[in-house]
């Protein structure tokens, strides 16, 4: 079993749709969690950190459920520019430790 | 956000040559840098963790003598692919994180094509 598992996708949605991605992690001692987006042939860029209390940034909402070892990302009112691969990232340590990346979920938003 | 640069952005070389890739943190000191490799339509694979002033820690299956890492200063780590072969062709990405940070900031990546 992989340490970090994501929905395999791909997700193909129309503009304006709401889409949710899920991610589970196997190490209960994991400390910090992130969502990154990666555009085709580009480097990953931080989208948002994920906290137990949940956090929202505009159309994006991230949730963490430590008991279920589950992370989610919700995108509302999808835009064409949201088309990308979304990576779930888990750190075992808060500082200096390496991160574990999920395989990513590809989202295509169509007009 | 923090800025990480990589150089060169693209390399085409003949089989058997060595290629050096530089990763620099431009506006912060990075005690730890990471080197990743990504093949087309695959996920990022961590190759090694580079710590300033000490030896790099390599992931299982990554040959340390083939992928030489040097982290001589708090703002620069280099990855040298020695005697590159076509199967080494990939997208190499570095990331950096300072001592106080949880977040990794990625460089723009280097595309290596070995003919």
- Name the more confident of B79 and B1: B79
**How large is the C-alpha radius of gyration of chain B?**
13
CB contact under 8 A, A91 and B102: yes
Q: Please indicate if any CB of chain B lies within 8 Å of the CB of A86.
A: no
Q: Determine contact, residues A20/A60, Cβ cutoff 8 Å.
A: no
Task: Mark out chain B residues that contact chain A at CB-CB < 8 A.
Answer: 1, 31-32, 34, 42-44, 46, 49, 91, 93, 97, 99-109, 111
User: Please, what's the b/e burial string for A86-97 (b: 16 or more CB within 10 A of its CB; e: otherwise)?
Assistant: bbbbbbeeeebb
* Measured distance CA(B82)–CA(B100) in Å, rounded: 33
Task: Give the pLDDT confidence score for residue B101 in this predicted structure.
Answer: 66
B49 contacts in A (CB within 8 Å)?
98
| Structure token pair of residue B9 | 């952005």
Question: With a CB-CB cutoff of 8 Å, which residues 42-61 of chain A face chain B?
Answer: 42-46, 49
pLDDT, one tens digit per residue, over B59-78 is: 999 999 999 999 888 899 99
pLDDT, one tens digit per residue, over B15-58 is: 999 999 999 999 888 888 999 999 988 888 999 998 888 889 99
Does B4 have pLDDT greater than 90? Answer: yes
Highest-scoring range by mean pLDDT, A40-54, B7-21, B89-103: B7-21
pLDDT, one tens digit per residue, over B75-87 is: 999 999 999 999 9
């Amino acid at each position: 079993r992989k340490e970090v598992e994501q929905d395999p996708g791909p997700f193909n949605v129309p503009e304006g749709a709401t889409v949710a991605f899920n991610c589970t992690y196997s190490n209960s001692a994991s400390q910090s969690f992130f969502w990154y987006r990666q555009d085709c042939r580009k480097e990953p860029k931080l989208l948002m950190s994920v906290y137990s209390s949940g956090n929202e940034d505009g159309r994006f909402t991230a949730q963490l459920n430590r008991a279920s070892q589950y992370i989610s990302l919700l995108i509302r009112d999808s835009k064409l520019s949201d088309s990308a691969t979304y990576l779930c990232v888990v750190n075992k340590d808060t500082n200096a430790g390496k991160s574990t990346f999920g395989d990513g979920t590809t989202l295509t938003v169509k007009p | 956000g923090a800025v990480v640069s990589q150089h060169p952005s693209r390399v085409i070389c003949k089989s058997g040559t060595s290629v050096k890739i530089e990763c620099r943190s431009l506006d912060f000191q990075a005690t730890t840098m990471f080197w990743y490799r990504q093949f087309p339509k695959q996920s990022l694979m961590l190759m090694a963790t580079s710590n300033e002033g000490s030896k790099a820690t390599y992931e299982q299956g990554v040959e340390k003598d083939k992928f030489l890492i040097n982290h001589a200063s708090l703002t620069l780590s280099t990855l040298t692919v020695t005697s590159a072969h076509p199967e080494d062709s990939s997208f190499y990405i570095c990331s950096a994180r300072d001592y106080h940070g949880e977040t990794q900031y990625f460089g723009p990546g280097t595309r290596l094509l070995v003919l």
